[in-house]
Amino acid sequence: CDNFDSDKEEPCSAPKHPHHEEMGRREFTLGKELWIEADDFMVEPVKGFFRLYPPKDGQAGSRVRLRHGFVIECTGYDTDANGQVIAVHAQYFPDSKSGTPESNNYKVKGNLHWVNAKNAIKAEVRIYDRLFTDPHPDSGDKNFLDAINPNSKQVITAYLEAGLGHIPAEQRFQFERHGYFVADRVDHSDQTPVFNFCVGLKDTWK
């Protein structure tokens, strides 16, 4: 957010569970530089895309709300030597913070998940998919070994809210838009957080 003070840390608050306020709230901060998901930006937006895209043909870039934060407007982006997008630029509107009366003056369709780049924690996340590519790997004369999914386990690096930096092993969380994850029983620690995927949000397997 180019017009956000680099020394500023804006306090934000969100319920720990969207439908159970009695579970309490979590506190976090918003800063000048944020991590967002790559899928939340398109240089050439398709029809019905309500997330971030840049200005074009004299039209302003898209406006979205940073979840539990401010409304921002995309102003541009940077690419590397291969044309890969490596950064998205935006301006934020100081009077648009969620929960304030003035925020009602801003009507946007998109809401973005984000984490503060300044204090996000780096974690190993293990994504587990089905062991087999065939729902009936041993039926008939099939050799089940031929149906083993080579991508049944993927290990990725993720950036998470700072509040997940000091949690015990085997504690479970929902990573919004992705599913439920559990801190690994053996490998997880404050120094090297490790989370395992356990339950998805939707499943279309038939």
Domains of the chain, residue spans: 10-116, 121-199
- Pairing verdict, β 71-79 and 121-128: unpaired
Query: How far apart are alpha carbons 201 and 91 in whole angstroms?
Result: 32
Q: What is the pLDDT of residue 205?
A: 45
Q: What is the pLDDT of residue 204?
A: 53
C-beta neighbour count of 52 within 10 angstroms: 23
Residues of the chain with pLDDT under 50: 205-206
CATH class of the domain defined by 121-199? mainly beta
The SS3 assignment for 186 reads coil
Query: How far apart are alpha carbons 191 and 121 in whole angstroms?
Result: 10
Query: How far apart are alpha carbons 64 and 90 in whole angstroms?
Result: 10
Find out whether 115 and 35 touch, Cβ atoms under 8 Å. Answer: yes
Q: What is the pLDDT of residue 176?
A: 87
pTM here?
0.86
Q: What is the pLDDT of residue 140?
A: 85
What single letter denotes the amino acid at residue 180? Y
Query: How far apart are alpha carbons 177 and 11 in whole angstroms?
Result: 23
Q: What angle do CA 116, 124, 82 make, to 5 degrees?
A: 70
Q: What is the pLDDT of residue 19?
A: 85
Query: How far apart are alpha carbons 85 and 64 in whole angstroms?
Result: 19
Q: CATH classification of 10-116 is 1.10.1510.10, yes or no?
A: no
Helix (H), strand (E) at residue 126:
strand 121-128
Residue 109, token pair as written in the block? 């369709």
Give me the phi and psi of 8, to 5 degrees please. Answer: -85, 140
Q: What is the pLDDT of residue 206?
A: 46
